[in-house]
Amino acid sequence: MPTQLAAGAAAILGHVFSPWAGFRGGRGVATSLGVFLAILPVPALLALAVWIVLFLSTRHVSLGSVGAAIAYPLMVAWKGPQDGYRTAYLVAACLVAALVVIRHIPNIRRLLAGTENPTIDRKGAKP
């Protein structure tokens, strides 16, 4: 498991801080989902369910992403394996959640200010 966590961390960090894009990249949400689906599928699917509920109820991808990131360590604590790597899983989940939230700070500011555009308006069209 430490090898899987290290490889997953490398994939997430490589996506968020891509050397081919001047060490700027994405928010790390989709990559994190893929990594954690492979390592801890049940907590990852539960966090995905949180993302879906938040996105469908608010139409804000960023709010779903932040909510799922915050929920993920809780899901790992609740439904993660009870083995010798439990602490490593929880630490990795907390670090990735913190990274996702930090990368979403501009979105969080816009959400709080009420200026974040929804991905899809209520009629189903892009704004």
**Ranges of each domain in the chain:** 2-113
Confidence of residue 71 (pLDDT cuts 50, 70, 90): very high
- What pLDDT is recorded for position 48? 98
**pLDDT, tens digit, for every residue of 2-13?**
899 999 999 999
**pLDDT, tens digit, for every residue of 49-59?**
999 999 999 99
Q: CA 53 to CA 95: how far, in whole Å?
A: 23
Confidence of residue 70 (pLDDT cuts 50, 70, 90): very high
- pTM for the complete prediction? 0.89
